[in-house]
Amino acid sequence: MDKIIYTTNVSNLTYGRGYVYSLQYHIVWCTNYRKKVLLDGIDNEIKDYLNDLAKEYSFSIMAMEVMPDHIHILVDCKPQFFPSDMIKILKGNTARWLFMKHPELKKQLWGGHLWNPSYCIVTASDRSYDQVKQYIDSQKTR
């Protein structure tokens, strides 16, 4: 039986002090009750805010699309950054910021919660990275 050897693209690796890594996560989360409230320019505001959060917490957003009722994001982060903590930061900060900037959204959502408590997170490998990025980029045209 022949062995198949997979190699990684060395240019995609990040070097830290004592470690080398390449971690990408495709994250999707929805508005509560799948209400279509991320419309009329709010989607662009959220994109800007998420980019600011990424700079503040030192992770990279590789691809992002804000749909009327959910968000797709592809992030590259350090191994010390737990995915569950990153999701808490993304969902919690955007909800707080968005309700302060657009208080009228609370009236459209029963209970005053912006995000559904669940989320989907999938790792992206060297082999699937381009497919995931293309999928996220094509969300608005689907």
In tens digits, the chain (142 residues) has pLDDT values of 454 444 445 457 888 788 888 889 999 999 998 999 999 999 999 999 999 999 999 899 999 999 999 999 999 998 888 999 999 999 999 999 999 999 888 888 877 789 999 999 999 887 888 899 899 988 888 6
- Per-residue pLDDT reduced to its tens digit, 35-59: 999 999 999 999 999 999 999 998 9
> 5 phi and psi, to 5 degrees?
-110, 125
Active site residues: 135
CB atoms within 10 A of CB 62: 18
Q: Where are the beta strands (DSSP E) in 1-142?
A: 14-16, 19-21, 24-30, 60-66, 70-76, 120-124
C-alpha dihedral over 81, 60, 40, 32, to 10 degrees? -20
Are 128 and 74 spatial neighbours (Cβ–Cβ below 8 Å)? no
Report the mean per-residue pLDDT for the chain.
88
Cα separations in angstroms, 58 against 20, 30, 75: 16, 24, 11
pLDDT value of position 66: 96
Supply the pTM of this predicted model: 0.85
Domain 30-130 falls under CATH 3.30.70.1290:
yes
Spatial neighbors of 9 by CB under 8 A, at least 6 apart, are 126
Signed CA dihedral, 28, 30, 36, 38: sign only: negative
Q: Domain locations in the chain?
A: 30-130
